[in-house]
Amino acid sequence: MAMAKSEPGGASSASEQSVSPLDLRRLTQFMAVAEHQNLTQAAAQMFLTQQALSSAMRQLERDLGVVLFDRRGRHLALAPAGKALKDGAGPLLAAARALTAETRRVAAGAAEEFVVAHTPAVTSEEVFTLVGPVRAALPQMSITARQMYPDALHQALIDGTIDVGLRRGATTPDDLAAATISYDPLRIAVRTGHPLAERVQIDLGDIADQTLVVWAPPGVSFYTDFLVSACRRAGFEPTLAVNKTQGTPPVTAVVDNDYVAFVTAPRGTALAGQVQVLDLKDPRWYRYRLFGCPTPFLRLAPSCSAGQVETPHPRYRGQIPSGVCTPTAASNWTICRFRSSPACSARKGSCCVFYGSLVSTVR
């Protein structure tokens, strides 16, 4: 006798749920509906009829035994279960795409590639230095650095088209994980010929009557908020100007004007003598943040007990996969390749943060 399927919201047996894994194609369709909250728009995106997409969403609800949408006419609001599914679906779909690409790469015998994206505020020279431990631990690995604006970097992490992203200190979005991997002292850049250019070292208060160039207004950029806060702690409210040339290294912001800019470039001349970079007597330190897409294997608990993981999202808690970890000398990085064994282990008292094939050990 055929078994009746559970309706949305109805009870399903544990055995039923355990043998009904999510259909990734249907999950992709669900994400389109969740994004648009409109069947017509989502159906157009997925090249489906509205009726076919509606039927697919009803079937997904039956498969899961839950209600995913609060249906109000043509508008579809996510129910609590729908919000939970949306939060977890991005990493799952990204992992599926990454697994597909990796399988094809191995079959083709192609070299492994590690893609590091960075925002314009992090220069290519700084990226090269920051990935030094990765190059030392895995010299055979091909590393590609790509510059991206923050929004594009965020989406690329979700899509799985990059492995990690480097940004200056920023808040962590709910759907990403992050770790601080380095701190650099802030310096002041001015054009050659600026009244401050002959100084070797200055106080932060020396720029109180200068215009500070930033890359986004306060309240929009975490970095700008940090710089404004540093000025206020030094006893003055800065006059700000937003840089009209975006996507170039920070030292370029002062070439054609009398502004000053905070940079992390080395002290001395820059841009073939067009810019002077000055030390601050009491330097402010700014952090580099490494961002990655959440997976079920994000962070080893501070006790570093084997197999236990703690992540920003409790639903991702599980077991750490097997891998080979290579501690790198004179750095706070550990490289972990999950495709091998034995299991990754951390030094006592440390905390490991997993990002795909890369692990940052935070002391």
Q: Is the peptide bond before 342 cis (omega within 30 degrees of 0)?
A: yes
Q: Residue 124 has what pLDDT?
A: 87
| CA 352/CA 347 separation, integer angstroms | 9
**What is the phi/psi pair of residue 45, to 5°?**
-65, -40
Q: Residue 314 has what pLDDT?
A: 33
| CA 128/CA 6 separation, integer angstroms | 54
C-beta separation of 166 from 360 below 8 A: no
Q: Does residue 28 have a pLDDT over 80?
A: yes
User: What domains, with CATH codes, occur in the chain?
Assistant: 14-103 (1.10.10.10), 111-182+288-362 (3.40.190.10), 187-283 (3.40.190.10)
pLDDT tens per residue across span 101-133: 888 888 998 877 888 999 888 888 888 988 888
Q: Which of 88-97, 197-206, 216-225, 305-314 has the lowest mean pLDDT?
A: 305-314
Q: What is the sign, positive or negative, of the torsion defined by CA atoms of 233, 234, 239, 245? A: negative
Q: Residue 173 has what pLDDT?
A: 74
| CA 183/CA 179 separation, integer angstroms | 12
Share of the chain above pLDDT 90, in %: 35
Amino acid type, 293:
C
Cβ burial, residue 276 (10 Å; 0-12/13-18/19+): buried
| CA 31/CA 222 separation, integer angstroms | 29
Nearest alpha-carbon partner for 127 in 94, 153, 151? 153
